Structure 1
Amino acid sequence: MEPSQHDERRFILGKSACLLSKKTAVSQYDVTIAARQQ
């Protein structure tokens, strides 16, 4: 397996993990806002 290919895969995995954590943070934020408004 070529190192460049491996790096590319790791980069894509890291990117998707970052997006996932951002989505989680945003949904937690939304829940907090909704809880405050009640």
Structure 2
Amino acid sequence: MEYTIILGFGFLLGVASMLGASYIARNEEKKKGDD
């Protein structure tokens, strides 16, 4: 049971980091476009 919780937590963490990275990348592109 604990293994499933750890696996699910790691999966959510990975998805969150991927979304965060893409969000930051889009913000960086917007900044370049504004200049």
The alignment's TM-score, normalised by the length of structure 2, stands at 0.76
Superposition CA RMSD, Å: 1.1
Runs of 4+ aligned structure 1 residues displaced above 3 Å come to: none
| Unmatched runs of 5 consecutive residues or more in structure 1 | 32-38
How many aligned positions are there?
Answer: 31
2:13 aligns to what? 9
How many Å apart are 1:4 and its aligned residue?
Answer: 1.0
Q: 2:24 aligns with which of 20, 32, 35?
A: 20
| Unmatched runs of 5 consecutive residues or more in structure 2 | none
The alignment's TM-score, normalised by the length of structure 1, stands at 0.72
